[in-house]
DNA sequence: GACCAGGCACATC
DNA sequence: GATGTGCATGGT
């Protein structure tokens, strides 16, 4: 498995190069983006982030001062705006009630505990927590998403229906615990997932095309 | 107009 | 524990 995972990484990196993830200017913006992109295309998230920046509210203090209604209106383009406004508020409440609203106070928390605390925030699930850990806090955690499952299942490297923690363990136990590797690998999987590995797409031109695969495997 | 997009919580069985 | 459903905008 280790060799296969490294081969896939090499094929993807050689074709697409570094992805420079996460798209976001600050640690806080990365976190906000991670929550807003839940089941939503990044293009829509960009509009919501642009709205927040346009009114100079891309900071914990400014965002925490908004009413839920104001927050929801600003993030409307990202979809699910009412529920996501609550989720952002939940995160901010946790940050202010426990860490004085300072992200730097989270830096000293060990990875296992920080993950548990993030998961305890209502609206932050495994993928969102892990995206925050890897991309905002540079912790060696491998992010799993729908694209990851799709690519792995299509190439017979995981069973259909494999759950989040099993798939995450597959990567983390077979790869060096390297933040940069985890960063690029996940970003590359998203890239190939978008371009070539849609449920009904053909594999023609995919850098993984030469590997054993079943093009009929779509959603996992 | 149908389908999909970088999930998650909750209800029901 | 597994499965189904609501949440919502915007692009293809």
Segment A35-83, tens digit of pLDDT: 999 999 999 999 999 999 999 999 999 999 999 999 999 999 999 999 9
Bases of chain C within 7 A of a CB of the protein: 3, 6-11
Spatial separation of the C-alpha atoms in residues A52 and A40, rounded to whole Å: 17
Q: Which nucleotide is nearest to A144 (CA to C1')?
A: B6
Cβ-contact A32, A88 below 8 angstroms:
yes
> Is residue A5 reached through a cis peptide bond, with omega within 30 degrees of 0 on the bond before it?
no
- A204 domain-assigned: no
Name the residue range of residue A80's domain. 27-136
In this model, does residue A200 exceed pLDDT 70?
no
Residue A185 clears pLDDT 80, i.e. is over it: yes
In this complex, the answer to whether residue A79 has its CB under 7 A from any atom of chain C, a nucleic strand, is: yes
In a domain, A210, yes or no: no
Q: pTM of this prediction?
A: 0.96
pLDDT digits (tens, 9 = 90+) for A82-127: 999 999 999 999 999 999 999 999 999 999 999 999 999 999 999 9
DSSP code string of A123-136: T--HHHHHHIIIII
Give residue A219's pLDDT. Answer: 53
Look at chain A and report how many structural domains it folds into. Answer: 2
If asked whether residues A38 and A128 sit together in one domain, one would say: yes
A150 and A129 belong to one structural domain: no
Q: Are residues A127 and A147 in the same domain?
A: no
- Residue A201 covered by a domain: no
CATH number at residue A108: 1.10.340.30
Chain B bases near protein Cβ (<7 Å): 4-10
Checking if the pLDDT of A199 tops 90, the result is no
Give yes or no for a contact between A60 and A88, defined as CB atoms under 8 angstroms apart: no
Residues A73 and A159 in one domain: no
Give per-residue pLDDT as tens, A22-32. 999 999 999 99
The Cα–Cα gap between A181 and A138 comes to 11
Whether A67 and A32 map to the same domain: the answer is: yes
Same domain, A41 and A126: yes
Q: Is A144 helix (H, G, I), strand (E, B) or coil?
A: coil
Nearest-angstrom CA–CA distance, A98 and A16: 41
Tokens 């901010």 sit on residue: A92
- The rounded distance, in Å, linking the Cα atoms of A220 and A217 is 8
Mark whether A16 and A38 lie in a shared domain: no
């Amino acid at each position: 498995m280790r060799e296969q995972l490294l081969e896939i990484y090499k094929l993807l990196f050689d074709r697409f190069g570094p992805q420079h993830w996460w798209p976001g200017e600050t640690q806080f913006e990365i976190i906000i983006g991670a929550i807003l992109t839940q089941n939503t295309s990044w293009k829509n998230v960009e509009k919501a982030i642009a709205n927040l920046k346009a009114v100079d509210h891309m900071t914990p203090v400014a965002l925490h001062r908004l009413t839920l209604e104001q927050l929801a209106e600003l993030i409307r383009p990202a979809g699910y705006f009412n529920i996501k406004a609550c989720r952002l508020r939940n995160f901010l409440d946790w940050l202010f009630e426990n860490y004085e609203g300072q992200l730097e106070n989270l830096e000293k928390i060990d990875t296992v505990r920080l993950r548990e605390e993030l998961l305890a925030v209502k609206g932050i699930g495994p993928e969102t927590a892990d995206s925050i850990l890897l991309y905002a806090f540079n912790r060696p955690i491998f992010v799993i998403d729908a694209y990851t499952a799709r690519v792995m299942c299509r190439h017979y490297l995981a069973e259909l229906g494999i759950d989040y923690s099993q798939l995450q363990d597959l990567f983390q136990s077979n790869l060096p615990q390297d933040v940069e590797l985890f960063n690029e690998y996940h970003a590359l999987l998203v890239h190939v997932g978008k371009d070539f590995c849609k449920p009904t797409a053909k594999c023609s031109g995919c850098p993984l095309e030469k590997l054993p695969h079943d093009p009929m495997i779509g959603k996992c």
